[in-house]
Amino acid sequence: MTRETISAAGPHNPGRRNFLSAVGATVASLQTAACIRKPYEKILPYAERPEDLVPGEARHYATVWNVGGAVQGLLVRSTDGRPTKVDGNPNHPMTGGSTIWAQASVLSLYDPERSKEPVREGEGVSPDEAVGFLKKLPDEIGDGSGLAVVVPELPSPTADRLWEDIRAKYPKAELYRFDGAGTDHARAGAAMVGIEGAAWTTDGTPTVIAAFDADPIGTEGDTTAFTKAFAAGRDPNRKPAEANRLYVVEPHVSITGSNADHRMAVKGSEVGDFLAALAHHLKKGGLNVPTLDAPKDKLDSKFVKALAKDLLSRKRGSTIVMVGERQPAHVHALGFVLNEALGNFGKTLRFTKQGPTEVGALSDLVRRMNDGSVKQLVVMGSNPVYEAPADLNFGELFQKVPLTIHLGLYRDETGRLATWHIPQSHYLESWGDLRAREGTTAIQQPLVAPLYPSLSPIEFMARLTGAESKGYDLVRATHQGAISGGFDKRWQRWLHDGVVDVGQAPSFVPSVKTDGLAAAYKFRAERAQGLELAFVRDNAVLDGRFGNSPWLQELPDPITKIAWDNAAVVSPNTAEKIGVPNNLEQSSVRDTVMVDVSVGGETVRLPVWVQPGTAEDVVVLSLGYGRKHGGKFAKSGFDVNSLRTAESPYIRSGAKVTPTRKGYAVACMQPEASMHDRPIVRDATRGDFTDEPNFVEKFEVMDEDHVASLLWDEPEYTAEHQWALTIDLNSCVGCGSCTVACQAENNIPWVGKEDALKGREMHWIRIDRYFEPKHSDQVEVRYQPMACVQCETAPCENVCPVGATVHGPEGLNNMAYNRCIGTRYCSNNCPYKVRRFNFFHYTVRNDADYGMGIAMQRNPDVTVRYRGVMEKCTYCVQRINKARIHAKVNGDGIIPDGTVKTACQEACPADCITFGNIRDPDSKVSHTREDPRNYAVLSELNLRPRTTYLAKLTNPNPDLAEG
Amino acid sequence: MTHMFPRWTNHLPTAVAVGVPLLGVAVVLGVYYFFSPYYTDVGYEPTQPVPYSHALHAGEMGMDCRYCHNTVEYAAHAAVPPTSTCLNCHKYVKANSEKLSLVRQSGETGEPIPWVKIHQLPDYAYFNHSAHVGAGVGCVSCHGRVDQMEEVWLHEPLSMGWCLDCHRNPEPHLRPVSEVTNMAYDPVAAGYDPSEDPNRTREVNPPVHCAGCHR
C-alpha cells in the first residue's frame, strides 16, 4: 500500500513536498485502515445445538479424580464445551475446597506436550496399529506366568472388578503397586499389626493432632477434607477443650509443620524414636501399649512428655497420632498401636474395607525382573523409571524385559524406554469411578471427548482381557447390580450429584496385633555420622507428575517461596557448618551457592537454600524436579532420585555436602521473611485472646484521632451492594489453592523463571509468609494471603493520569484495562504491592509455549490483558456482574448473601475467606468484620481497605510455655 | 534595501492567523465525525452466506425475534440460531430452493453456516442481552427496524459514548417488557411511563462505572 500511494503522488518529480505529503497520506490511511474498521469476524452457530446448551453460558458438571489414592470430588466448569475451571464438589464427603493440583489439572488437559499417539519402539504409529497390537496381546500373554502389571493408586470399583477379570483370564499374573504419591509404608505398617484390605482416613476433627513427619495439610492423604476440619477446629468460639492443638515432629518445614502450635525439628531417622518415647510415656499413663526401646534423651524430651500428658488428658477417641509416608513401616505400625490404645479407631481414624489385597511392592517386582521371570511388563499411569529409587536400577531392568507397555498421559521417562507407549486419557476425558478412603464412590464423567486417541485406565485394563469395551459401559456394568430397577434415573442422579448413594465401602474397626512390633522396633544404637538427607514430596509438583504445569512451577513454595526450582534446604547452623552463607540475611537470590550433595558414590549438584526450622544436620531435597522427559517445564530444577535407596527411600544418612561455585539464580518470590516489628500479621494465644478480646487494637501504630483526617472529601458509597472480603488468618494454612484458582479464573499468565527473578510475577493473590529469619531450628511461620484490598480511599487512583483505575459505586477499585497506558504510578503508590504489570506480552508468550491449549482454558468472562497494562484483583467482578444481572432480570436486583463467591474463596479448603455485602448487616462478611479479631493491614494509612484480616490465634500447651 | 521577501508575503501572517485555526477546527471536526463509529460503522452491511431476509421473516410474516434468537431473555448472547431452527420450517417450505442450499448442506454435514458478524463489540466490553431485555429495552433501540431490513445492517454506532447516553438517561428508551420485540412500538407516542408500569418490580438503574461493562 505504501508503495502504491507514493507512486500515485507523482513518479516524475518526486520532490520533497510531494514525498512528505505522500508519507502523511499513507500514514493517515494506514491508521484509518488499522484502527477504525473493526475486524471481519464470523459467527459459527451449531448446526444442531445440543439441548439445554446456551452459547456462552458456563455449565458445571460433577466428576472425581485422585492423587495417590486421595479421592477428590470435583465440579468442573465447562464453557461452550471447554473445561475452564475445576473446583471442589461440596456434595462429596472428601472435598472442602480444592487442592492446587485439582486447580491446575484443567491446564494439563490442554498441555501440548501430552502424548498424542501410540509409540512402538520409538516410532509413532497409528491408533489402529496399537489397537491391533492390544487385540493380539492376550495370545502372547498366555496363562500370565510372565505378566506383571504395575498399577498406581487407583481406588476404583470398576478397576477392582477388571482386576478380577484379568486374574481370571491370566491366573498366574502378578499385580504390583507403584505410585510416587502412594502410601506403601503406611500400608506395610498396617500389615505389620494385622490390618489388611483396608483404607483409612483421618479427618481434621481431633483435638490433639500429633503429626510425626506427617503432612496431612500439604502433601499426604485427603488434604482438603483434613484442612477443612482442622481449620474449623481452630474456631476461637470453641471451648478450650474442643479447640485443636497441633504438635509436629519433623526434619523439614512442611505445610503442616508451619501451622503447628508446637513443632520440634529432628532428623527423620529419629522421628520413630520420639514416637517410641511417646509410647513409653503413654504406657506410664496407663495405656496398653508394648514396651519399646527408646533412647534416654528422647524419653527425657519435654516436648514428648507434654504431648503424652495432653493426649491422656483428652477424651478417648478424640485425638490422633499421625505418621508420615516418609517414615518406615514399623513407625507406622506403632502409630496404629497408639491410636488403637487412645481409642481413636473408628472415631478419628476410620477404616473401610476395600481394594485387592494381593498387590506386591515395586521391590518385589524388581526381584522378579532380576531373575528374568517377567516377560510382559505393563506400567499403568506411573513413572517408575524416573521416580523409583536409583539403587533398584529400574530403568536398566525395564529395558531387559522382552515386552514392556506403558500407559501414560505423557511419553515420559518410562514411556520412552517402553516397547509400546499408549496415550492415556486425561481424567477430564474419561469415564470412571473412584471410591474415597472414607467409603463413598463417585462417578468420573468426562467433560470433553479425548483430544487425542487415547485409552482411560479402565478401558486399557479391559483391553488386557481382550475386551474392547468403552469406559461408559464398563462403569455402568459395575454399578448396574447395585440397585434393582430404575437404574437410568439413579445413574443420572449420581452424575448430577457427583456421588453414588449406594455401595458404600463398609466401615469397620480392626484389631491390632502387637506381638511383632517390639522386634521390628529395635533401637539402633549406632547412627551413621554426617549429614542426613530428607527426601520430601514437593509442595507444588509432588513426585514430579505435575512438573509440566507452568502454574504449579511458578507457584512459590509455601515455606521457601522458591518457584521453578528445588534446592538443598538446610538450617542456618548447618549452613554455617557446610560453609555457605545464609541467603536470608544476604537476600541475594541471584548469587546462590551450588553444592555437591554426595552419598554412596552418587553426587547431585544443586543450589543450597537456608530455611530456619529445618532440623540440624539435615539436607532437605524436594522430589519431582529436573525431569528429562517430562516436558519443557518439568526440566526445571534438579533430579535427586539418584541419591535414594529402596530400603529407605526418604531418609538417607552419611551424606556429604561440598560448596562449589556461587552464582546460581534461585527465583525466590519473597526473600524477605521478617515483618520488622510491624503489625502486618497479628496474633495471640487463645489464652491471651480470652483475657483481652480486643488485642488487635493494641498493635495499632497510630491512634485513631491521628488517622481519621483525610486531605480530600469523604468518599461516599451509596450503592445497595458494598463488597468486602475478610480473610481469617486463624484458618489459613498457606496451601496456595487460592493463587492457582485465581490464575485459572482470571486468565493470569505465567512469566517464567527469568521474569519471576525480576519480581515480575503476575499472581493477583499471593501468600506472604513471615518468620523470624534469625532463628535456627525453631520457626513460627505466619501466612497472609494478600491481594488488592480495594481501599475506599485508594492511593493508586489519585496518581493515574488516564483514569484507568477508578472506584465503582460498590466500593470496588475497578481496572479499565483498555485505558491503561502503563505508567505504573499506581503500582508505585500501592502500599500493599498487589498491582501486577505486564512487562512483556506474557499472554502471547504463554500462547507460544502452550499452543492453542491455553486459549481453550481461558475464561471468556475476563479480559485477556495486553503488554504494558496494569492488572490486579477485582474481587472477581465478572462473578459479581453475573449475579447482579441474574438478580435484576429475575427479581428485585438484590443479590442474596452467599450468591457470589470469589474464585479464591471457592478454592480455599480452610474456608478462611468470606465475601459479601457490608450494607447488609446480616451478611456473613458483616459478622466477620465485627469479630474482635478483625483488623486492617497498614490501618495507619487510613486507606479503609475493604479486605480485612482476622488475627491468628495459637493454642500452645501451657506445659511447654517458654521460660 | 531591497525587499528580502516578495510583497504578497505581507498577507501571510493574516492568512496563517486565520487559516491555521480554521484548519485546526476542520481537522478536529473531521476526525470527530469521520473517525467516529457514526461514520465508519453505521451502515455496515456485509454480504451474508445465505440471503436470509429479516424483512420477510420478521416483517412480512411477523415472526417473533425470539423464535430464532431464543436465548436473548436469559443469556448474554442472543444466539444466532442453529441450522436446525431454519430447517424446522424449510424442511417443508421451499425445501428445494437454490438459496437454501447452504442451509440444507449444513443440516446434512453438521458444518456451521459462516454468518458474518455485524454487531461487534470489542472483547473487553461485556454486553448482556438478558439484562437489557429484562429492563424493557426494545430490540429496535440498538438494532433498528430489522423487520424492514432485507439484509441486516448496523443501525447504531455501538460506541461507548452511545451506550452511555442511554445508561445515563434510560427512561426514554424503556418500554413494557411485553413490547420488547415489537419493532413498531414507540414508547413516546404510546405515552409510556416506566414508573407507572405495575409490572416493574424495581427501578432501572444501569451501571455507568467501568466495571459495569469492563472486567
pLDDT in tens, A932-942: 999 999 988 88
- In chain A, % helix, strand, coil (3-state, to 5) comes to 30, 20, 50
Chain mean pLDDT for chain B:
91
Which chain A residues have a beta carbon less than 8 Å from that of B106?
47
Angle (deg, nearest 10), helices A457-464 and A157-169: 20
- Structure-block grid coordinates of residue B91: 424442511
Q: Do A47 and B211 touch (CB under 8 A)?
A: no
Does A7 score more than 50 pLDDT?
A: no
Q: Do B75 and A55 touch (CB under 8 A)?
A: yes
Which chain A residues have a beta carbon less than 8 Å from that of B114?
42-44
Residue in A36, A39, A892 nearest the CB of B202:
A892
d(CA A643, CA A650) in angstroms, rounded, equals 10
Q: Does B109 touch chain A (CB under 8 A)?
A: yes
Residue in B82, B106, B134 nearest the CB of A889:
B134
Q: Do B82 and A45 touch (CB under 8 A)?
A: yes
More confident residue, A931 or B38: A931
Query: pLDDT, tens digit, for every residue of A553-612?
Result: 999 999 999 999 999 999 989 999 998 887 776 656 788 899 999 998 899 999 999 999
Q: Does B120 touch chain A (CB under 8 A)?
A: yes
Q: How far is CA A108 from CA A409, A451, A552, A680, in A?
A: 9, 12, 11, 36
Query: pLDDT, tens digit, for every residue of A85-140?
Result: 999 999 998 887 899 999 999 999 999 999 999 999 989 999 999 999 999 998 88
More confident residue, A347 or A708: A347
Interfacial B residues in 150-189 facing A (CB < 8 Å) = none
d(CA A293, CA A100) in angstroms, rounded, equals 41
Does B145 score more than 90 pLDDT?
A: yes
| pLDDT for the residue numbered A6 | 38
Instruction: State the DSSP code for A812.
Output: -
d(CA A409, CA A395) in angstroms, rounded, equals 19
Which chain A residues have a beta carbon less than 8 Å from that of B86?
none
| pLDDT for the residue numbered A356 | 62
What mean pLDDT comes out for the span A310-339?
93
Q: Do A55 and B71 touch (CB under 8 A)?
A: yes
Interfacial A residues in 801-840 facing B (CB < 8 Å) = 806-809, 812, 814-818
| pLDDT for the residue numbered A821 | 94
Q: Do B211 and A889 touch (CB under 8 A)?
A: no
The distance of B213 to chain A (nearest Cα, Å) reads 9
More confident residue, A197 or A813: A813
Residue by residue, what is the 3-state secondary structure of chain B? CCCCCCHHHHHHHHHHHHHHHHHHHHHHHHHHHHCCHHHHCCCCCCCCCCCCCHHHHHHHCCCCHHHHCCCCCCCCCCCCCCHHHHHHHHCCCCCCCHHHHHHHHHHHHCCCCCEECCCCCCCCCCCCHHHHHHHCECHHHHHCCHHHCCCCCCCCCCCHHHHHHHHHCCHHHECCHHHCCCCCCCHHHHCCCHHHCCCCCCCCCCCCCHHHHCC
Q: Do B84 and A885 touch (CB under 8 A)?
A: no
Measured between CA atoms, the residue of chain A closest to residue B102 is: A47
Query: pLDDT, tens digit, for every residue of A682-734?
Result: 999 999 999 999 999 998 888 777 776 777 778 888 899 999 999 999 999 99
Q: Do A46 and B115 touch (CB under 8 A)?
A: no
Which chain B residues have a beta carbon less than 8 Å from that of A28?
none
Q: Do A54 and B81 touch (CB under 8 A)?
A: no
Measured between CA atoms, the residue of chain B closest to residue A807 is: B209
The secondary structure element, H or E, covering residue A355 is none
Does A27 score more than 70 pLDDT?
A: no
Residue with cell 505529503: A21
Residue in A36, A816, A891 nearest the CB of B210:
A816
* Residues whose CB is less than 8 angstroms from the CB of residue A832 and which lie 6 or more positions away in sequence, other chains included: A786, A788, A789, A937, A938, A945
Does A523 score more than 60 pLDDT?
A: no
Query: pLDDT, tens digit, for every residue of A874-927?
Result: 999 999 999 999 999 988 889 999 999 999 999 999 999 999 999 999 999 999
Give residue A222's Cα distance to chain centre.
12
Range with lowest mean pLDDT among A7-21, A428-442, B109-123: A7-21
Q: Does B202 touch chain A (CB under 8 A)?
A: yes
Which chain A residues have a beta carbon less than 8 Å from that of B76?
56-57
Q: Parallel, antiparallel, or unpaired for β A198-202 and A349-353?
A: antiparallel
Does A15 score more than 70 pLDDT?
A: no
d(CA A32, CA A1) in angstroms, rounded, equals 13
The distance of B182 to chain A (nearest Cα, Å) reads 19
- Structure-block grid coordinates of residue A396: 536398566
Q: Do B76 and A56 touch (CB under 8 A)?
A: yes
Q: Do B211 and A877 touch (CB under 8 A)?
A: yes
* Residues whose CB is less than 8 angstroms from the CB of residue B134 and which lie 6 or more positions away in sequence, other chains included: A888, A889, A890, B73, B177
d(CA A929, CA A918) in angstroms, rounded, equals 9
The distance of A950 to chain B (nearest Cα, Å) reads 28
Q: What is the DSSP string of A742-760?
A: HHHHTTPPP--HHHHHTT-
Does A11 score more than 50 pLDDT?
A: no
User: What ipTM does this complex have?
Assistant: 0.89
Dihedral, CA of residue A493, residue A497, residue A502 and residue A505, to nearest 10: 160
| pLDDT for the residue numbered A18 | 64
| CA angle (A954 as vertex; A951, A956 as ends), nearest 5 | 160
Which chain B residues have a beta carbon less than 8 Å from that of A47?
82-84, 106-107, 109-113
Instruction: Give me the count of residues in chain B.
Output: 215
d(CA A753, CA A744) in angstroms, rounded, equals 19
- Structure-block grid coordinates of residue A30: 494506514
Which chain A residues have a beta carbon less than 8 Å from that of B180?
none
Which chain A residues have a beta carbon less than 8 Å from that of B75?
54-57
Instruction: State the DSSP code for A697.
Output: G
Query: pLDDT, tens digit, for every residue of A845-857?
Result: 999 888 878 889 9
Residue A913 pairs with which residues in a beta bridge? Answer: A727
Residue in A39, A42, A816 nearest the CB of B114:
A42
Query: pLDDT, tens digit, for every residue of A784-838?
Result: 999 999 999 999 999 999 999 999 999 999 999 999 999 999 999 999 999 999 9
The distance of A711 to chain B (nearest Cα, Å) reads 24
